[in-house]
A and B are shown apart, each in its own frame.
Chain A
Amino acid sequence: MTDVLTQPRPIRLKGRSFLALALTPEMPFEDWLVRLDDLAARSAGFFLRRPVVLNVEELDIDRSQLRELVAQLAARNVRVMGIEGARPSLLGADLPPAMTDGRPASDFEAPAAEDGDEDARPAAAAVEDVAPAMAPQPVRAMPSIIVTEPVRSGQSLFFPEGDVTVVGSVASGAEIVAGGSIHVYGTLRGRAMAGTTGNGAARIFCRKLEAELIAIDGFYKTAEDMEPDLRGKAVQIWLEGEAIKAGTLG
């Protein structure tokens, strides 16, 4: 027996960040692919099981060239999960999706090419060498940012590291994505997504609630689902289990 779902459970939308290898091809592609082949020959499996993002920001190429490049890489077992820095017109449904807002991380160590022992080195050994070295993170206070300007329509504030405080309003059509809590000392008219990196204890506070959408740890509510008597009030929003709760402040 299956229960009939009277109240459909919403899909959870969560943000998560991963470390990917960013490849920056250079023109002409033929030469670059030769160098890539050379790298792959020195360490078979360097690209195997590794998420790869193609950065084409500096390149002046058209769609067919890009498609050809992705195909060439696929033939070398390099699977491209996304493309960074491409004009929207370059991308289509048949190409990997656009990726934006990438932040630099520590470089991947490419296998060393020492002329002498190149042949002596067994390819299999190199595979183990290339695991990215993770530097131990020093203990520090939870980061947060304070924005003293109004967040305007079309602007997106992305801060997965911690709390976001806005001294001003968040406009309709603007969005704030925070790993921690979101505080808005003004009217929240746009979207606020708190605890996106899996922090269910994050909360959203605003002086005046007019939000289009609010979410905590992937659980969300649209303006339509919010209790109408909270509109226009000073409100805090938190998560209890899987339910979004909201109450007036002060």
Chain B
Amino acid sequence: MGKVVVVTSGKGGVGKTTSSAALGAALAQGGEKVVVVDFDVGLRNLDLVMGAERRVVYDLVNVIQGEAKLTQALIRDKRVETLYLLPASQTRDKDNLTPEGVEKVVASLRKAFDWVICDSPAGIESGATLAMRHADVAIVVTNPEVSSVRDSDRIIGLLDSKTVKAEKGERMEKHLLLTRYDPARAQRGDMLKVDDVLDILSIPLLGIIPESMDVLRASNVGSPVTLADGSSAPARAYFDAARRLKGEELPITVPGEKRGFFGKIFGRKAA
């Protein structure tokens, strides 16, 4: 049985899709069988970021409505053979995602894959709640600025109340992925500090992804950053985050900080 991971944030534009693709590709390169599912029906992007936009025939909505089989809708990545994409529909309305349909699709993906990564749409409406509904693990993507942090806090509240796990009285495993971290701006004090974000959200940190042109460049050529240039700073940060997701304990590097900051950040096991 695979693990279902939801990548969510509340706020838009913080890097959910980029992170879903990069983490998915990183896990797949380690030999795990991974499917990345785009839940952003009507505003699909994941196919572009993964470079599969010209191979989409069927999508999530087709599968849910019974117009296509799951195997017909899954797109296998051309670079990593254990990486798959289940695209969203661009033409349909998100009301086409029914709770029963999503449950069925997630259940069959869980059987066939080691990791099912659900790329959630922004917001707290049905699309986002359906994407998180069946998750075992949540990755909360946050930028180091106040509005993103507050929206993430709201999403964490929903993860603890609106998911199947929460309704069964179990604890949802949640991780914070701090993205678009700009060391120069952090030094000038224009951004929230890592410590402040951790203090407010009080969930364990999965990784800090530095703001980088490499991310944008990778998106534009349709490649997850962990596939485009594995040695770039953001790619290395995503590889580390993927290893932590698998349960490895690695020290966390704050970009731009060279001194022994690690222990301090990693030492805080927040609530």
Contact = CB atoms under 8 A, between A and B. Distances in A.
Interface in A133-158: 149-150, 152-155
B236 interface: no
A114 B154 CA distance: 54
Interface stretch (A69-77, A120-128, A167-175): A167-175
The majority secondary structure among interface residues of chain A is loop
Given A169-B202, A187-B199, A153 B160 contact: no
Contact of A153 (B150, B199, B202, B271): B150
12 contacts: A150-B271, A152-B153, A152-B154, A152-B156, A153-B150, A153-B153, A153-B154, A168-B202, A169-B200, A173-B150, A173-B153, A189-B200
> Which of A171, A187, A189 has the most CB atoms of chain B within a 10 A radius of its CB?
A171
A169 to B, nearest CB: 7
Interface of B: 150-151, 153-154, 156-158, 160, 199-200, 202, 271
B80 to A, nearest CB: 36
- How many residues of A sit at the interface, in one of the four size bands? 10 to 19
A18 B160 CA distance: 31
Given A149-B271, A171-B150, A155 B157 contact: yes
Interface of A: 149-150, 152-155, 168-169, 171-174, 187, 189
A154 B160 contact: no
A150 B150 CA distance: 13
B160 A152 contact: yes
A172 B160 CA distance: 17
Given A149-B160, A152-B160, A168 B154 contact: no
Contacts of A149: 160, 271
Contacts of B156: 152
A154 B200 contact: no
A150 B154 CA distance: 11
A149 B174 CA distance: 13
B153 A171 contact: yes
Contacts of B157: 152-155, 174
> Which of B150, B151, B158 has the most CB atoms of chain A within a 10 A radius of its CB?
B150
Contacts of A171: 150, 153, 200
Given A150-B271, A152-B160, A168-B271, A173 B154 contact: yes
A169 B199 CA distance: 9
A93 to B, nearest CB: 24
Contact of B154 (A154, A169, A187, A189): A154
A155 to B, nearest CB: 5
Given A152-B157, A173-B154, 7 more contacts: A149-B271, A153-B150, A153-B153, A168-B202, A168-B271, A171-B150, A187-B200
